[in-house]
């Protein structure tokens, strides 16, 4: 049985994916207390805390190192300070752990902007550091919209393989499954999710189907979090933060009314079952916005081959 570790584990997306593949998690780490609580509810195990304070020698041997390392310092919605930011520097904890344990595979995820922030110097540093400790890195931008998830969510998936090893990797091929937002919507949701404003404008008819968000209107000036989308397309990228009346989920025209998405709808859009535990209220939305999509991790893992 392959063993893996789950760094910056959040609510456990990597673990949810790899345990379905029959693997065993031997260590997890997450600094956020509420995320730790959610992880415990889902897996019966509380992650260790601050990884910077944990010696690599105390981490069990493992075959796969998983990490959705903090993205705020690379995200357009963050401050884009890259590796100079304390959160960005957590990448070096991945390096020290991988250097000591030399797992066969590094499986990492981050926002697309990491490829271009600081004029590409960040990604160059990441590739150099992993090369120095014995890994060949492949990276590909994949959009969940093309893999059966009705959410436009572009992320970079990194696969680090030991040099001179027997493993190879080619990115997974999109399934282009015809699934739309309307297919996962709940019949009844809290009235607090609905928006009724005088400055709401619908700009076009809502008829066509697309495997992408379809913008059909706006509120206020139509800034981020103020755009209205069709249920015949996909959701926009769920986010942990962001402003506007449609913050975190976006706004959608559903049965002739405009509303945000429920927490259960967001769980489905992130590839989790509705009984998967997240914190209540805004924190639950934040946890999902920060999470990885387990099925995307499965697609990437399945694309690693022997030989």
Could you tell me the pLDDT band of residue 165, with boundaries at 50, 70 and 90? Answer: confident
Please provide the DSSP assignment of 128-187 as one string: HHHHHTTEEEEEEEEEGGGGT-SB--EEEEEEEEETT-SEEE-PPPP------GGGT--S
Give a yes or no: residue 138 inside a domain: yes
- Shared domain for 190 and 154, answered yes or no, is no
What is the per-residue pLDDT for 242?
80
- Shared domain for 51 and 154, answered yes or no, is yes
Average pLDDT over residues 17-24: 98
271 pLDDT more than 90: yes
- Shared domain for 160 and 97, answered yes or no, is yes
Average pLDDT over residues 64-85: 63
Number of structural domains (the chain) is 2
What is the per-residue pLDDT for 241?
86
204 pLDDT more than 90: no
Average pLDDT over residues 143-150: 98
Give a yes or no: residue 165 inside a domain: yes
What is the per-residue pLDDT for 128?
94
- Shared domain for 148 and 205, answered yes or no, is no
What is the per-residue pLDDT for 206?
75
* 238 closest CA partner among 77, 39, 88: 77
Contact 66, 304 (CB under 8 A): no
258 pLDDT more than 90: yes
Give me the percent of the chain exceeding a pLDDT of 90. 85
At residue 251, φ and ψ (nearest 5 deg) are: -115, 145
At residue 272, φ and ψ (nearest 5 deg) are: -110, 150
Residue the block writes with tokens 């260590």: 27
- Shared domain for 52 and 155, answered yes or no, is yes
pLDDT in tens, 55-72: 999 999 999 999 998 755
DSSP for residue 53: G
- Comparing 25 with 1, which gets the higher pLDDT? 25
What is the per-residue pLDDT for 79?
52
- Shared domain for 162 and 187, answered yes or no, is no
Helix H segments across the chain? 13-20, 33-43, 91-101, 121-132, 263-269, 282-290, 294-302
Distance of CA 207 to the CA centre of its chain: 30
Question: What amino acid positions are annotated as catalytic residues?
Answer: 71
Supply the Cα-derived Rg of the chain in whole angstroms.
Answer: 20
What is the per-residue pLDDT for 119?
87
Give a yes or no: residue 146 inside a domain: yes
DSSP for residue 271: T
**pTM surpassing 0.85?**
yes
- Shared domain for 26 and 116, answered yes or no, is yes
What is the per-residue pLDDT for 82?
43
- Shared domain for 195 and 161, answered yes or no, is no
Residue the block writes with tokens 């990441």: 126
- Shared domain for 85 and 132, answered yes or no, is yes
Residue the block writes with tokens 């990448």: 91
Give me the percent of the chain exceeding a pLDDT of 70. 94
Least confident of 75-89, 148-162, 291-305: 75-89
DSSP for residue 68: -
Give the domain CATH number at 234. Answer: 3.90.120.10
What is the per-residue pLDDT for 75?
44
- Shared domain for 106 and 251, answered yes or no, is no
Give a yes or no: residue 246 inside a domain: yes
Give the domain CATH number at 41. Answer: 3.40.50.150
Average pLDDT over residues 131-155: 97
Residue the block writes with tokens 């570790």: 5
What is the per-residue pLDDT for 71?
52
Say which residues have a Cβ less than 8 Å from residue 153's Cβ, sequence separation at least 6.
143, 144, 145, 237, 238, 293
Say which residues have a Cβ less than 8 Å from residue 152's Cβ, sequence separation at least 6.
143, 144, 145, 212, 213, 234, 235, 236, 237
Give a yes or no: residue 289 inside a domain: no
Distance of CA 176 to the CA centre of its chain: 19
- Shared domain for 133 and 200, answered yes or no, is no
Residue 113's domain spans which residues? 3-175+294-306
- Comparing 144 with 74, which gets the higher pLDDT? 144
pLDDT in tens, 2-15: 999 999 999 999 99
Could you tell me the pLDDT band of residue 74, with boundaries at 50, 70 and 90? Answer: very low
DSSP bridge partners of 114: none
Contact 283, 290 (CB under 8 A): no
Give a yes or no: residue 102 inside a domain: yes
Contact 172, 305 (CB under 8 A): no
Give a yes or no: residue 66 inside a domain: yes
46 pLDDT more than 60: yes
Contact 167, 105 (CB under 8 A): yes
Distance of CA 44 to the CA centre of its chain: 22
- Shared domain for 218 and 143, answered yes or no, is no
- Comparing 187 with 307, which gets the higher pLDDT? 187
């Amino acid at each position: 049985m392959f063993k893996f570790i789950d760094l910056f584990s959040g609510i456990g997306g990597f673990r949810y994916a790899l345990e379905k593949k029959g693997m065993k998690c031997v260590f997890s780490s997450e600094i956020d207390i509420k995320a730790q609580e959610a992880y415990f509810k889902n897996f019966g195990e509380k992650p260790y805390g601050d990884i910077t304070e944990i010696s690599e020698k105390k981490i069990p041997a493992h075959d796969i190192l998983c990490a959705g390392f903090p993205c705020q310092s690379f995200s357009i919605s963050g401050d884009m300070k890259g590796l100079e930011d304390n959160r960005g520097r957590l990448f070096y904890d991945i390096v020290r752990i991988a250097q000591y344990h030399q797992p066969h595979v590094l499986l990492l995820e981050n926002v697309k902007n990491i490829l271009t922030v600081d004029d590409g110097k960040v990604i160059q540093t990441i590739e150099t550091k992993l090369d120095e400790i014995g890994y060949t890195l492949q990276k590909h931008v994949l959009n969940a919209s093309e893999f059966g998830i009705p959410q436009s969510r572009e992320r970079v998936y990194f696969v680090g393989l030991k040099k001179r090893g027997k493993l190879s990797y080619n990115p997974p091929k999109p399934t282009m499954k015809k699934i739309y937002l309307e297919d996962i919507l709940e019949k009844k949701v809290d009235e607090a999710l609905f928006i009724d404003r005088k400055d709401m404008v619908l700009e076009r008819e809502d008829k066509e189907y697309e495997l992408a968000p379809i913008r059909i209107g706006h509120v206020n000036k139509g800034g981020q979090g103020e755009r209205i989308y069709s249920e015949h397309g996909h959701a926009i990228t769920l986010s942990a933060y962001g402003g506007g009346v449609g913050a975190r989920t976006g706004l959608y025209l559903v049965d002739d009314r405009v509303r945000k998405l429920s927490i259960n709808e967001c769980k489905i859009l992130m590839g989790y079952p509705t009984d998967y535990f997240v914190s209540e209220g805004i924190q639950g939305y934040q946890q999902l916005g920060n999470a990885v999509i387990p099925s995307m991790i499965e697609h990437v893992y399945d694309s690693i081959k022997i030989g």
